[in-house]
Structure 1
Amino acid sequence: MANLVERVAGQVKARFLAESSGHDWHHINRVWRLTRQIAAEEGANQQIAELGALLHDIADWKFHGGDDSVGPRQAALLLGQEGAPASLIEPVVDIVATISFKGAGVATGMQTLEGKCVQDADRLDAIGAIGIARCFAYGGHAGRLMHDPDVPPVMHQTAEAYKASKGPSLNHFYEKLFLLKERMNTPSGRALAEARHQVMTDFVEQFLAEWGES
């Protein structure tokens, strides 16, 4: 187990170390660590969960023209090249294919306990202090305004609408980040989300006060 996981970690680290949109190796490594913790507490298969965490952003649709099939294909290719058996590749690829948030009105449930652990870990890294930093890092990367009071948040009802959204970064808190606490899959994830959610609500309240809106 450890040998395969470590080899995959080395490949992912080399590929993403210099990424600057908030989806870098450090993000992946944090999700990996959180996944190990949650999977241990929830009794999940550690190998599947850890590989899912390491490969969950291998080719995020945001950087591939909205195509969410690239990530699963690249994950399967990398695992195959590392000699992973089909019995391991299949559940890991399923995690990569189904992990992403796709809009406030879109269900993105995970079918396996391992997938639930990885999704919770990824969502935990999207909230709290680091989540705030990542939100604005990606917004700057994508050329989005920090905030525009004349552009209200949109609760997207389809994946297509969510992917096409170009709204300001602050809207993302309402459109996604504030929703994640209630969408945690595991007791471990829900417990960890509480404090991080409060950090975000306090930040947005202070942000709007300084902007002059409250």
Structure 2
Amino acid sequence: MEAALQLAKIKAYVFSCFTDDPTGHDYYHMERVARMARMIANKEGAEPFICEAAAWLHDIGDEKLFHDSIKSLNEMDAFLHSIDFTKSDIKEIRQIMRNVSFRKGRIPTTMEGKVVQDADRLDAIGAIGIARTFAYGGAKGQPIFHETSKHTSIQHFYDKLLKLKGLLHTETAQEIANERHQFMERYLEQFYNEW
């Protein structure tokens, strides 16, 4: 099966998994990460097809989003096999997915893994990142801000978002991150002024 058809089938599969997600991990998040991964891969000399495929699939099996993460990953493997992905391609995609999460603190060992992790992290910062932070907080019943609580959406900026610029691997992602990081800093300043 040709690569373009495989990617089209992956998009449809991902749409079926994430179309109703209210946490900021929806189909359009996967689409933005996949588009960014392909662009970074092309600029940085990574394999664009594997980067894009892994980026589309990167949140499958995430414990925050799936009740049975092992079952969802096994279903993904069977799906990829059904559209002619080789065992080695599936293994590489799974490895990229395993290392993408900020929470797990892993550093990818391949260029493709670094590209997908960078693409995912870029979608967590800037205007989209701010929107996703509040979408996730709202979906999980988390307050926007509370002066005596660390379990708020605003605290998430300090726990994760403001750290991401310094954790990117590729020059391409670092350049994109600068403007998005500055926007978040301006946003927080305005937020506190209004609060």
TM above 0.5, yes or no, is: yes
What secondary structure is seen at the aligned counterpart in 2 of 1:61?
Answer: coil
| 2:149 matched residue in structure 1 | 151
Kept in 2: contact 1:116–1:185 (CA 8 A): yes
Q: Distance in 2 between matches of 1:97 and 1:22?
A: 20
Displacement after TM superposition at 1:27 (Å):
0.6
Kept in 2: contact 1:120–1:189 (CA 8 A): yes
Unpaired runs of at least 5, structure 2: none
Poorly superposed stretches of 4+, deviation over 4 Å? 67-72
Kept in 2: contact 1:72–1:94 (CA 8 A): no
TM-score by length of 1: 0.85
**AA partner of residue 179 (structure 2):** A
| 1:185 matched residue in structure 2 | 169
Deviations 1:53-112 (A, max 9, x none): 0100123221246x765664443232123221112111101111111011xxx6320111
| 1:131 matched residue in structure 2 | 129
1:178 and 1:57, CA in 2 relative to 1: closer, same or farther beyond 3 A? same
RMSD: 1.7
**AA partner of residue 62 (structure 2):** D
Q: Distance in 1 between matches of 2:142 and 2:31?
A: 26
Deviations 1:145-174 (A, max 9, x none): 10111124xxxxxxxxxxxxxx11110000
What percent of counterpart residues are identical?
Answer: 40
Pick the aligned partner of 1:62 from 61, 64, 86.
64
1:70 and 1:97, CA in 2 relative to 1: closer, same or farther beyond 3 A? farther
Pick the aligned partner of 2:44 from 38, 42, 45.
42
| 1:164 matched residue in structure 2 | none
TM-score by length of 2: 0.92
Displacement after TM superposition at 1:46 (Å):
1.3
Displacement after TM superposition at 1:205 (Å):
1.1
Pick the aligned partner of 1:29 from 31, 37, 45.
31
Kept in 2: contact 1:71–1:97 (CA 8 A): no
Unpaired runs of at least 5, structure 1: 153-166
1:108 and 1:7, CA in 2 relative to 1: closer, same or farther beyond 3 A? same
**1:101 matched to 2:102:** yes
Q: Distance in 1 between matches of 2:185 and 2:98?
A: 30
| 1:10 matched residue in structure 2 | 12
* Equivalent residues, number: 193
**AA partner of residue 93 (structure 1):** R
Q: Distance in 2 between matches of 1:107 and 1:16?
A: 24
**AA partner of residue 160 (structure 2):** K
Q: Distance in 2 between matches of 1:35 and 1:85?
A: 21
